[in-house]
Amino acid sequence: MIAVICVLGIAYAAPNFISRVAVESFPGFVPHKQISLGLDLQGGSHLLLEVQVSAVIKERLAGMVDGVRTTLRKEKVGYRGLGVYQRGVAFTLRKPEDLDKARRAVRTSEGDVEVTVDGNRLLVQLTEQAMRDRRSAAVQQSIEIVRRRIDETGVRDPTIQRQGADRIIVQLPGVKDPERIKRLIGKTAKLSFRLVDLTMSPDQAAAGRPPPGSVVLPSDSEMGPDGQPVKFLVRKRVMVSGEMLIDAQPTVQDGQPVVSFRFDSVGGKRFGTVTSKNVNRPFAIVLDGKVISAPTIREPILGGSGIISGSFSVETARDLALLLRAGALPAPLTVLEERTVGPGMGADSIQAGKMASLLSIVLVIVFMRAAYGVFGVIANVALVINMVLIMAALSLLQATLTLPGIAGIVLTVGMAVDANVLIFERIREEQRNGRTPISSVDAGYARALTTIIDANLTTFIAAILLFQFGSGPIKGFAVTLAIGLATSMFTAIMITKLIVVVWLRRKRPQRLPL
């Protein structure tokens, strides 16, 4: 069993000494995973993002206004002054006798609200629990969308985790173009298809007041003679939402980069209905409040798919397709902090870590050989195997190695021989008390075992707590420390004992060289 574990350890650690290009050509059944280097070793970008959860609440309140309006009209309840008020919606009843009827209808239709009555005025507010749930869900959904977008770019081993109530930490090792990643992460990517309002020109609407149910939106790329974005007057009502998309891919049409898209069955049916009823009318494709394009519907589009054209380059078409595939963010993200670590700094850290590790190993090997002779050599063999097993475990688990993680490995070097020191000192005592070599070794391992387990267990508990409550570099230190504790226990107790027993059987010494 010990031999099999050691051979597997060598097999899984070996790819770390081969170039990544060569490793990727290995057959699938051959161990090919390498240790993942963290941001501080490989270089890359560190971003701290804040989710604008207030936008989610604002959107929910806008939806409540429409929902309350629809409910009151369905129940034939007269009202006036309907609008957003504080963290809810307020309106005044025209007839006091409709009070109970309106209150029941609103509470039934909205669900997670509380209704307050002040004379003829009703205030429909979201409950505190509903507010907390929506904020938490917005942050969690943002994390998933950010993860999908980053995974689509091919970044290896990103770290994406929540911090506090409404913040997200994003670490991207090896990223060479952080600005592109920021653009991809920062876009809300809310896509909608709306009809263009032809009742008046966009300039008239912008100068005066747009028709009810319409809004003036700027073009994303088309500029007018005055150098300002061309304006479009579009209906507020979303005919088809981007949430119904199931695929989007960059492609080429008439020599120009475009984005092809495909709806699910519900979206395809709705898209077909809308285009059938609005032939020869312009149809605006809106992304994050800007009109990408507004083509005229020449004929019904019944296949559930279409093309988004605009002033795209190959890269912008690819990025837009990526954003649409990954989905829209529930709320805008703000970059609060940005740090970029150059690969040169990472290389210096790796070199310093290598030097510290090698120096510590050499000094420990020299000390153990000088202090314990043949037994020290056996401990040194176990130490080398311990380092191999640590590398194998980090590769197999794909744990990210950071600079504090290297510190954990250096600490493990000393702890790996600590158990051997306890055992060898105990064997010395037993031999001084007149025991035979075999009896001394047996008693030394048996009586030192409890002390070794206690010492390593208490340190392991500390490592678990560091991993549970720490973040980033602290977790990296905890991971390598915990792995090192497990491997050092195995090598100190199992491997050294096996080698000592084999040596005793072959040499049969009258006195142990300790």
Which tens digits make up the pLDDT trace of 304-335?
888 877 778 888 888 888 888 877 788 888 88
CA angle 150/34/19 to nearest 5° reads 100
Which of 169, 199, 215 is the last residue before a domain boundary? 169
Say if 256 falls within a structural domain.
yes
**Residue 166 burial (CB count, 10 A):** 18
- Rounded Cα distance, 312 and 310, in Å: 5
For every residue of 136-160, DSSP letters joined together read HHHHHHHHHHHHHHHHHHT-SS-EE
pLDDT given at position 465 = 93
Q: What is the pTM of this model?
A: 0.63
Q: Same structural domain for residues 124 and 144?
A: yes
Q: Same structural domain for residues 387 and 452?
A: yes
Q: Same structural domain for residues 92 and 241?
A: no
Tokens 């290297």 -> residue: 406
- CA distances (Å), origin 210, targets 131, 236, 323: 33, 11, 31
Q: pLDDT digit string (tens) for 357-405?
A: 888 888 989 999 998 889 999 999 999 999 899 999 988 888 778 778 8
Identify the CATH number of the domain in which residue 222 sits.
3.30.1360.200
Say if 178 falls within a structural domain.
no
Q: pLDDT digit string (tens) for 91-100?
A: 888 888 888 8
Average pLDDT, integer, range 298-302: 82
Identify the CATH number of the domain in which residue 380 sits.
1.20.1640.10
Q: Going by C-beta distance under 8 Å and a sequence separation of 6 or more, which residues neighbour residue 270?
A: 239, 240, 244, 263
Q: Same structural domain for residues 204 and 272?
A: yes
Say if 337 falls within a structural domain.
no
**For residue 50, which of 113, 138, 152 has the smallest C-alpha distance?**
138
Which of 272, 301, 328 is the last residue before a domain boundary? 328
Q: Same structural domain for residues 350 and 434?
A: yes
Q: Same structural domain for residues 322 and 388?
A: no
Q: Same structural domain for residues 250 and 213?
A: yes
Q: Same structural domain for residues 402 and 498?
A: yes
Strands 333-341 and 44-51: antiparallel
**Residue 78 burial (CB count, 10 A):** 12
DSSP annotation of 399: P
Say if 177 falls within a structural domain.
no
pLDDT given at position 458 = 92
Residue with the bigger pLDDT between 186 and 74: it is: 74
Q: Going by C-beta distance under 8 Å and a sequence separation of 6 or more, which residues neighbour residue 412?
A: 386, 390, 480, 481, 484, 485, 487, 488
pLDDT given at position 213 = 81
* Total domains present in the chain: 3
Tokens 């035979």 -> residue: 436
Q: Same structural domain for residues 208 and 76?
A: no
Domain range for residue 38?
A: 2-43+343-507
Handedness of CA 494, 499, 505, 511 (dihedral sign): negative
Q: What percent of the chain has pLDDT over 70?
A: 98
Residue 403 corresponds to which amino acid?
L
Say if 165 falls within a structural domain.
yes
Whether residue 156 has pLDDT greater than 60: yes
Q: Same structural domain for residues 20 and 64?
A: no
**For residue 382, which of 342, 408, 413 has the smallest C-alpha distance?**
413
Say if 420 falls within a structural domain.
yes
Q: Same structural domain for residues 302 and 292?
A: yes
Contact 71, 438 (CB under 8 A): no
Q: Going by C-beta distance under 8 Å and a sequence separation of 6 or more, which residues neighbour residue 401?
A: 35, 36, 37, 38, 41, 394, 476, 480
Average pLDDT, integer, range 223-239: 85
Say if 467 falls within a structural domain.
yes
Residue 418 corresponds to which amino acid?
D
DSSP annotation of 495: I
Tokens 């307050």 -> residue: 116
Say if 181 falls within a structural domain.
no
Q: Same structural domain for residues 391 and 433?
A: yes
- CA distances (Å), origin 24, targets 19, 94, 388, 399, 400: 9, 73, 21, 19, 19
